[in-house]
Structure 1
Amino acid sequence: MVYKTYTVGQYLVDRLRELGVRHLFSVPGPHGAEWLHDYVEATPEIQRFGTTNAANAGYAADGYARMTGLGAVCVPYDVGTRALLEPITGAFVERAPVVVVNGIPPAASDATSSVQKRHPLVGGPDGNRRLYDDVTCATARLTDLARAPAQVDHLLLSCLRHRRPVYLELQTDILHRPCSAPQAALSVSPPAPASDSPGSEALPALTSALCQADSAVLWGGVELQRHGLEQEFDALLQALDVPYVTSLLGKGLLPETHTHFAGILDAGGTASPVRSLIADADHVLGVGVGPALHTLPSGLPLDRTTLIHSGTSPPGSPPTTHAVPSGVALQSLLAELRTEVAPAVSTFDGPAIAARTQTDQSCDAPPDSPNTHITYQGFFDTVAPYVDDDTILVSGTGLDRWGSQSVPVSAPSGFVCQAVYGDVGHAPPAAMGVDLGSDDERVIAIMGDGGFQMTAQCLGTMAEKGLDPLLLVLNNGVYASEQWRMDAVPFAQEGPFAPQDLLQQWHYRKLPEALGGKGWRAETYGQLTDAVEEALQYTGGPLLIDVRIRQKSLPDLAVDGVEEVEVDRHRTASVLGQLP
């Protein structure tokens, strides 16, 4: 502690430390810099992690939150706050709990200060905070000394309960004011008694539906990961003995070697065996699937589906959607499902059904010839064996998200992808946060060249901090997912891509070498295997492989799941048989 008396600035740092924050992502700037210097950097347990811009800071905090349960970020007042809005929007949609700390000018003008900016240039004195009303679960401005500690506690508890970002404005003239230290640890309320659990009204109809069903599927969503309910989900799974699927956002909810795992059910694309499993099921029970409600997978039989999630149901949700207020309530409802519903229904032979569904989804063996040029799906089939129990896989949101579905993930919560919000620049800086937030696992991040170009500055930060995720940049020179959604015909026939989808060609291999890391280039499967095996031996700096992909190549799911992709369906259907 820097100051002899206990202060508001120290209170905020101590609460973040208490909740497990060990890295705080930042960009230097006015007003917030004083808190960072006097309190964060003076706290040995928390490392201030500087990044090149607000977007990279936000995405890194997002990735960190997905691994540890809470992230924190502080960027320059006004300009940085507005630039941070995009990453925080994605974190809000996908339930990544991030604390945004925004230092704001003092209430009274200081004539001796070189910083005379009194309020945002747009929106008035409250303009920054109002920007975040729609993308956080709570906001607060610390201007009243008497209320400041309680405001901090309320904000952090909201973040923990709802697993969504919160926004805090810290006025600089209250920063060093004295206050009382925390008197007790923060704690989310314990589960309510089962009889009082929100969502219990769904249980009679659900029990009746499952008792009449000859087949059922359990659909696990990302909210179960965010609230740490993996074991409770597994217990329900065993009690019902059903096959289960996850959303892409929830991939890795349980190790995908689980005997009941059948595959991925996702609005962005679903393999045909999983679509058939869902379509033929007498009942589908989705638990913790809140983000998926924004765009439900096509083919989901809504008249035979029950959906349970935490938070508020978005407009247009199916009538059999049931919302509970928090993760605590979701935990109680899972217990009720296991103890009250499961004993009343017959089991559904989950392992056998899951095994049959998985058979047609297995990765193909890599080509025999190491001199063969790399295709999109061939890349994923080659890399899959390197994603083991000690690896966390980070995926981009373009065509790479479809390929990543086919890679089995066995590490607990071993997959990260901004699968619902879908910002293509998310993966590179998010890999920094994932790396810092993981234990001893190796991070492999797969991304398209377009997404990498958006946030490539993070390589310099990785080099400075000695982080060594392996970045695999799929280089086909085009925003392929955008071309595919707009018009898939050029992938199957001779003809140009849309000019706006073409990318400037970078020498990707040379970037990490210029910044203190190491780079490789691979055009054949033999070169790819050699580069991956060599890269995995290195530590202490960013590693990047420039993977040259045939420009008109597509992952299998881009064809298999075409009915779920937002494209011109008639034109696409006419060329399906010609796709490579």
Structure 2
Amino acid sequence: MADIRTQSLKKPVDVAEYLFRRLHEAGVRSVHGVPGDYNLVALDYLPGCGLNWVGSVNELNAAYAADGYARVKKISALITTFGVGELSAINGVAGAFSEMIPVVHIVGCPSTLSQRNGMLLHHTLGNGDFNVFANMNTSISCNVAKLNHPSEIADQIDHALRECQLQSRPVYIMLPTDMVQAKVEGARLDNPIDLTEPSNEPEKEDYVVDVVLKYLRAAKRPIILADACAIRHRVLNEVHDLVEKTNLPVFVTPMGKSAVNETHPNYGGVYAGDGSHPDVKEAVSAADLIITIGALKSDFNTSGFTYRTSQLNTIDLHSDHCIVRYSVYPGVRMRGVLRKVINQVSASELAVHPSPTVSTQVNKTDDGSQTITQAWLWPRVGHFLKAKDIVVTETGTANFGIWDTKFPEGVTALSQVLWGSIGWSVGACQGAALAAKDLGDRRRTILFVGDGSFQLTAQELSTMIRQGLKPIIFVLCNEGFTIERFIHGMEATYNDIAQWDFKALVDVFGGSKTSRKFTVKTKDELNKLLTDDAFNAADCLQFVELYMPKEDAPRALVMTAEASAKTNAQRE
């Protein structure tokens, strides 16, 4: 039967080749993962399809790296082996689902014959159930494709990649060993997958636009607030055009940082409820209409749910629905609404008030000592950054400190505020740096990670060195898990870590001849380093141990940690 079916194909092509050529078409150039016997034959097809095999140190780091790669390249691929490999990666994939990152997770699995016969194979639970791991992934994937039947496989692959792109979430593809070289219709590759976003129903869209314009024109103090999903669902051009057309003040949330050009005169700063600077909090609280674009009102994104805004004064635009005050319009996507509002509105018909002035206040935060404090560091970083840098911040002090860093134009900020998996940033940095390399960019990738977080995923430094990547890595050495200390247990031993010689790892992982290492303990030493031409050029991997006080934290972290502790202690 297989031979008869193959003869009916116009351009027979192996399943693995079809899958990997489609990945290349979607924009993937490097594939993260760990080899295992159920995926080895498939990996042989990567070079012929124009894909680079990264070779990660473990599956969890590979998933983190795929997350970072996708944030820069707009899609990524991860290959693991059945059971042991995919379960090691599942936390990273869950984070990508939570944060809406398009990752294609391909799992090499036992043959369809082995599955039908319930064979007692390695990497299984020993109960003959070969669907158990796929079932685990259903809640963290927007599509699950089990490639068991050649006649369906091409459709399954195309559909999975489309869903991954449109929903901006992971998909799970289960590739049995006997399907790797099965034949599918290669003629389909002559036509690209349709990745265009569905259009709104015109009458619904026009109605929502009319309602939005009605409230916008009537407002006395309207503002714009850009959040994470504006980035994830690729409407930043619309955000920019809306700001230009309306001349309204625009703010970002912590997860929305870098969604707006922070050098634009209308940019008013980071709004996170009580964690905001006073002038930002005052400006947003005074608004009688807030147009939120891609809002994601999680606890750490709102400083512990401390928003002081009324839904009565809010228009929420989302990827698959819109909410105007208390009216919900399902199925009306924000892109179409934004574009029509931009086309139909004029700044002359709106009440426009100036934005708060955002400046890099290094002098105001200098306490006169040589101690590198959190309050001083993050404004100082704003002077070090360049246009189009990629800035990766770890859950903890860096995630909160970066709120006080004013970005140059075109900076891309990567953080994991919602999922908040400690150690994510090291893998994400590798993926982001590799994505920039694959794009042919000379952009710098800069990582800020705490010493505790770095210890969880330090091995990824090895992958960076192996791939010839050139990130600048700042390890903030402050003796443990600072964010946990401020939530609970300032002196508790469970928030302590072993004191490593961090920069020695560069040599351990093979970077002694290709990397540079630094130890910085004073403001003068940091200023000297940040103004050094060779350091700024970032022509090799550069690793900085940056020492800071143990009980010091960014102001936003302190506020959010207090709110988090209260939430954790709540009872019915």
- TM-score normalised per structure 1: 0.86
Structure 1 residues 96 and 11: alpha-carbon distance in aligned structure 2, compared to 1, 3 A threshold = same
CA shift at 1:528, angstroms? 1.9
Q: State the match for 2:556 in structure 1.
A: 557
Structure 1 residues 267 and 72: alpha-carbon distance in aligned structure 2, compared to 1, 3 A threshold = farther
Aligned positions, number: 541
Q: State the match for 2:419 in structure 1.
A: 421
Aligned with 1:192 (options 185, 193, 199): 199
Q: State the match for 1:575 in structure 2.
A: none
Q: State the match for 1:32 in structure 2.
A: 39
**Contact kept in structure 2, 1:308 and 1:324, CA below 8 Å:** no
Q: State the match for 1:15 in structure 2.
A: 22
Matched residue SS, 2:68: helix
Deviation string, structure 1 residues 175-206 (Cα, Å, up to 9, x no partner): 101111124101224653672455x5544443
Q: Is it true that 1:330 corresponds to 2:334 in the alignment?
A: yes
Matched residue SS, 1:39: coil
Structure 1 residues 125 and 563: alpha-carbon distance in aligned structure 2, compared to 1, 3 A threshold = closer
Q: Is it true that 1:41 corresponds to 2:35 in the alignment?
A: no
Structure 1 residues 201 and 435: alpha-carbon distance in aligned structure 2, compared to 1, 3 A threshold = same
Moved more, 137-146 or 257-266: 257-266
Aligned with 2:212 (options 197, 200, 206): 206
Q: State the match for 1:259 in structure 2.
A: 265
**Contact kept in structure 1, 2:144 and 2:172, CA below 8 Å:** yes
CA shift at 1:553, angstroms? 1.5
AA aligned to 2:74 is G
Identity across aligned pairs (percent)?
A: 24
For the residues of structure 1 that align with 2:318 and 2:296, how far apart are their CA atoms? 5
For the residues of structure 1 that align with 2:409 and 2:292, how far apart are their CA atoms? 23
AA aligned to 1:258 is H
Structure 1 residues 373 and 432: alpha-carbon distance in aligned structure 2, compared to 1, 3 A threshold = same
For the residues of structure 2 that align with 1:273 and 1:363, how far apart are their CA atoms? 18
For the residues of structure 1 that align with 2:99 and 2:498, how far apart are their CA atoms? 31
Q: State the match for 2:446 in structure 1.
A: 444
Q: CA RMSD in A?
A: 3.0
Structure 1 residues 201 and 523: alpha-carbon distance in aligned structure 2, compared to 1, 3 A threshold = same
Deviation string, structure 1 residues 127-178 (Cα, Å, up to 9, x no partner): 1111111111111100010000000000000011111111100111111011
Aligned pairs (5 A) from 1:360-379: 362-364=361-363, 367=366, 372-379=370-377
- The runs of 5 or more residues in structure 2 that have no matched partner are 1-10
For the residues of structure 2 that align with 1:457 and 1:567, how far apart are their CA atoms? 32
For the residues of structure 2 that align with 1:306 and 1:192, how far apart are their CA atoms? 20
Matched residue SS, 1:100: strand
**Contact kept in structure 2, 1:288 and 1:309, CA below 8 Å:** yes
Q: State the match for 2:536 in structure 1.
A: 536
Q: Is it true that 1:307 corresponds to 2:301 in the alignment?
A: no
Deviation string, structure 1 residues 289-315 (Cα, Å, up to 9, x no partner): 24759965522333311212124799x
CA shift at 1:547, angstroms? 0.8
Aligned pairs (5 A) from 1:228-377: 228-266=234-272, 269-290=275-296, 292=298, 297-311=306-320, 319-320=326-327, 322-324=329-331, 329-340=333-344, 342-343=345-346, 346-349=349-352, 352-355=354-357, 358=358, 362-364=361-363, 367=366, 372-377=370-375
AA aligned to 1:22 is R
Structure 1 residues 150 and 34: alpha-carbon distance in aligned structure 2, compared to 1, 3 A threshold = same
Matched residue SS, 2:349: coil
**Contact kept in structure 1, 2:67 and 2:103, CA below 8 Å:** yes
CA shift at 1:354, angstroms? 3.7
Structure 1 residues 555 and 463: alpha-carbon distance in aligned structure 2, compared to 1, 3 A threshold = same
For the residues of structure 2 that align with 1:109 and 1:240, how far apart are their CA atoms? 62
**Contact kept in structure 2, 1:306 and 1:320, CA below 8 Å:** no
**Contact kept in structure 2, 1:194 and 1:336, CA below 8 Å:** no
For the residues of structure 1 that align with 2:549 and 2:537, how far apart are their CA atoms? 28
For the residues of structure 2 that align with 1:318 and 1:98, how far apart are their CA atoms? 34
AA aligned to 1:6 is V
Moved more, 331-340 or 525-534: 525-534
Structure 1 residues 131 and 312: alpha-carbon distance in aligned structure 2, compared to 1, 3 A threshold = farther
Q: Is it true that 1:83 corresponds to 2:81 in the alignment?
A: no
Aligned with 2:160 (options 155, 161, 185): 155
AA aligned to 2:479 is G
Structure 1 residues 363 and 308: alpha-carbon distance in aligned structure 2, compared to 1, 3 A threshold = farther
AA aligned to 1:460 is S
For the residues of structure 2 that align with 1:399 and 1:322, how far apart are their CA atoms? 38
Moved more, 259-268 or 477-486: 259-268
- The runs of 5 or more residues in structure 1 that have no matched partner are 491-496, 572-580
Structure 1 residues 135 and 197: alpha-carbon distance in aligned structure 2, compared to 1, 3 A threshold = farther
For the residues of structure 2 that align with 1:180 and 1:225, how far apart are their CA atoms? 35
Aligned with 2:77 (options 65, 72, 78): 72
Q: State the match for 2:112 in structure 1.
A: 107
Aligned pairs (5 A) from 1:397-436: 397-412=395-410, 414-436=412-434
Q: State the match for 1:386 in structure 2.
A: 384
Matched residue SS, 2:45: helix
**Contact kept in structure 2, 1:102 and 1:168, CA below 8 Å:** yes
Moved more, 530-539 or 91-100: 530-539
Deviation string, structure 1 residues 387-435 (Cα, Å, up to 9, x no partner): 1104211111102111111112234351111122111211111011111
AA aligned to 2:339 is A
**Contact kept in structure 2, 1:521 and 1:547, CA below 8 Å:** yes
Q: Is it true that 1:507 corresponds to 2:489 in the alignment?
A: no
**Contact kept in structure 1, 2:246 and 2:347, CA below 8 Å:** no
For the residues of structure 2 that align with 1:434 and 1:267, how far apart are their CA atoms? 30
Structure 1 residues 241 and 322: alpha-carbon distance in aligned structure 2, compared to 1, 3 A threshold = farther
AA aligned to 2:60 is A
Matched residue SS, 1:565: helix
Structure 1 residues 259 and 209: alpha-carbon distance in aligned structure 2, compared to 1, 3 A threshold = same
Aligned pairs (5 A) from 1:474-489: 474-486=476-488
Deviation string, structure 1 residues 516-565 (Cα, Å, up to 9, x no partner): 1332111101222334435434534x321111101111223335x45983
Structure 1 residues 72 and 312: alpha-carbon distance in aligned structure 2, compared to 1, 3 A threshold = farther
**Contact kept in structure 1, 2:316 and 2:322, CA below 8 Å:** no
